[in-house]
């Protein structure tokens, strides 16, 4: 024998990993299955309380509008009534809440965005689960195994190269685990937010508590964005690891004295990629919070600016109309006075 370990097809080493899938199955499905029970319980509790609060709120609004002649009482009251009706319609039924908020935030948006983003690399993931992380680890394991089996045995050079391969496996596993933990936390937090979201939906009609609903929606968007970022990182890693395996395949077969060094260099590039991906995954929660937390704030700021602009425009328009009417009246008055001044005075009837 030539002292070189025999190489084998890497695909067989990629199919047996189920470590991350097992962890995913132990955490996420039980959490998601319990979300429905929590939503049903909260709906039965919150709906009667919301109905009483809406009645008191509408009565207070009517009293306020009665003493506020500057506003349009019918229009303002109808808008308030519409908000209250929509909120109660969503809160009173767990099925309605799931249709328009729960399922949309927990399943539909993450799944559709995952499918679109992963399609850029040809992965076409229908749902992000633990198996995706197992596949990436399987590719990393296979790439390292190709190099390891072709390293010369019983030499100091071979020992050093084996240490490099082991470091590659270790760093790859740690970085994939970081991304997996960020993904699990995002899934768990989103399920928790959706489970208790019916309470925040009940706060939407009231101007004093609407900010809580805005922050809840912002938190949900943050968790969805975090999953989107994880999908993007996984898509990049999948494409990169496939490229590493393809490059290693071109060096497989008979080796010269420098072939194993070339393979280790390719593996070192994969190691650097894992380090960058791990650091990015660690920073993704802050990035998602910065982006997701700004969505509602920007919308609220835009809405406030639009309201101020509309009010200013309405004030200018009403001022212009009032000024025009005043100018027209003043002009008419001056015309009448001028006509009176030019008209000759008739003879006195008494004389």
- What is the C-alpha to C-alpha distance for residues 335 and 131, in angstroms, rounded to an integer? 88
pLDDT band, residue 5 (cuts 50/70/90): very low
Here the tokens at position 135 are: 């596949």
Name which of 176, 186, 195, 189 is nearest 227 in CA terms: 186
How would you class 276 by CB atoms within 10 Å of its CB: exposed for 0-12, middle for 13-18, buried for 19 or more? Answer: middle
Instruction: Specify the length of the chain in residues.
Output: 351
Check residue 314 and give left, alpha or beta (phi > 0: left; psi -120 to 50: alpha).
alpha
Q: CA-to-CA distance for 165 and 293, rounded, in angstroms?
A: 41
- Kindly tell me the number of DSSP H helices and DSSP E strands found in the chain: 10, 0
Greater confidence, 308 or 266? 266
Q: What is the pTM of this model?
A: 0.69
Q: What CA–CA distance (Å, rounded) separates 214 from 300?
A: 9
Give the integer Cα–Cα distance in Å for 90 and 213: 14
Question: Looking at 46-60, 98-112, 303-317, which range is the least confident one?
Answer: 303-317
Among the listed ranges 37-41, 282-286, 343-347, which one has the minimum average pLDDT value?
A: 343-347
Give 31: exposed, middle or buried? Use CB within 10 Å, 0-12, 13-18, 19+. middle
Please, are residues 278 and 174 in contact by the beta-carbon 8 Å criterion? yes
Which class for 223: exposed (0-12), middle (13-18), buried (19 or more C-beta within 10 A)?
buried
Distance CA 213, CA 204 (A): 6
Determine the pLDDT at residue 298.
Answer: 39
* CA–CA distance, 6 with 340 (Å, rounded to integer): 120
Task: For tokens 């995706």, name the residue.
Answer: 132
pLDDT in tens, 69-122: 666 778 888 888 998 999 999 999 888 898 888 888 888 887 777 777 666 555
Task: For the chain, give the percent of residues with pLDDT over 70.
Answer: 68
Instruction: Report pLDDT for 88.
Output: 92
Contact criterion met (CB below 8 Å) for 187 and 30: no
Structure tokens that stand for 206 in this block: 């009231």
At how many degrees (to 10) do helices 109-118 and 210-250 cross? Answer: 30
Contact present, 294 and 170 (Cβ < 8 Å) = no
3-state SS, residue 85:
helix
**CA 214 centroid distance within chain:** 14
pLDDT recorded at residue 48: 92
d(CA 101, CA 190): 12
Cβ 111 vs Cβ 126: under 8 Å: yes
Q: Check residue 16 and give its pLDDT.
A: 66
Q: What is the mean pLDDT of the chain?
A: 73
- Across the range 316-342, mean pLDDT stands at 42
Q: Check pLDDT > 50 for residue 215.
A: yes
Q: 6: closest CA among 255, 291, 323, 266?
A: 255
Structure tokens at 213: 């609903």
Evaluate whether 140 touches 176 at the Cβ level (below 8 Å): yes
Report how far residue 201's alpha carbon sits from residue 91's, in angstroms, rounded to the nearest whole number. 7
């Amino acid at each position: 024998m030539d002292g070189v370990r025999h190489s084998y097809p890497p695909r067989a080493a990629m199919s047996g990993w189920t470590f991350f899938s097992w962890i995913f199955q132990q955490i996420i499905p039980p959490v998601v299955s319990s979300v429905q029970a929590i939503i049903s319980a909260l709906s039965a509790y919150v709906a009667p309380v919301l109905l009483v609060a809406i009645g008191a709120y509408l009565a207070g609004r009517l009293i306020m509008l009665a003493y506020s002649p500057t506003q349009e009482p019918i229009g303002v009251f109808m808008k308030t009534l519409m908000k209250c009706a929509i909120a109660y319609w969503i809160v009173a039924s767990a099925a309605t809440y799931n249709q328009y908020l729960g399922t949309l935030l927990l399943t539909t948006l993450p799944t559709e965005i995952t499918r679109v983003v992963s399609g850029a690399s040809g992965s076409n993931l229908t749902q992000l689960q633990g198996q995706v992380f197992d596949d990436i680890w399987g590719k990393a394991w296979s790439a390292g195994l190709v190099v390891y089996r072709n390293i010369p045995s019983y030499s100091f050079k071979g020992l050093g190269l084996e240490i490099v391969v082991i470091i590659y496996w270790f760093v790859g596993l740690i970085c994939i685990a970081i991304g997996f933990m960020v993904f699990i936390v995002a899934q768990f937090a989103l399920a928790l937010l959706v489970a208790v979201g019916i309470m925040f939906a009940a706060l939407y009609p009231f101007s004093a508590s609407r900010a809580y609903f805005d922050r809840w929606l912002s938190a949900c968007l943050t968790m969805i964005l975090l999953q989107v970022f994880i999908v993007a990182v996984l898509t990049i890693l999948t494409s990169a690891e496939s490229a590493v395996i393809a490059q290693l395949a071109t060096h497989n077969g008979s080796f010269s004295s420098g072939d194993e060094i070339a393979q280790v260099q390719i593996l070192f590039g994969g190691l650097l990629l894992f380090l960058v991906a791990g650091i990015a995954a660690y920073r993704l929660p802050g990035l998602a919070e910065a982006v997701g937390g700004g969505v509602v704030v920007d919308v609220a700021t835009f809405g406030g600016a639009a309201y101020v602009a509309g009010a200013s425009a309405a004030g200018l328009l009403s001022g212009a109309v009032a000024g025009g009417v005043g100018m027209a009246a003043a002009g008419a008055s001056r015309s009448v006075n001028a006509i009176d001044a030019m008209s000759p005075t008739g003879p006195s009837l008494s004389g």
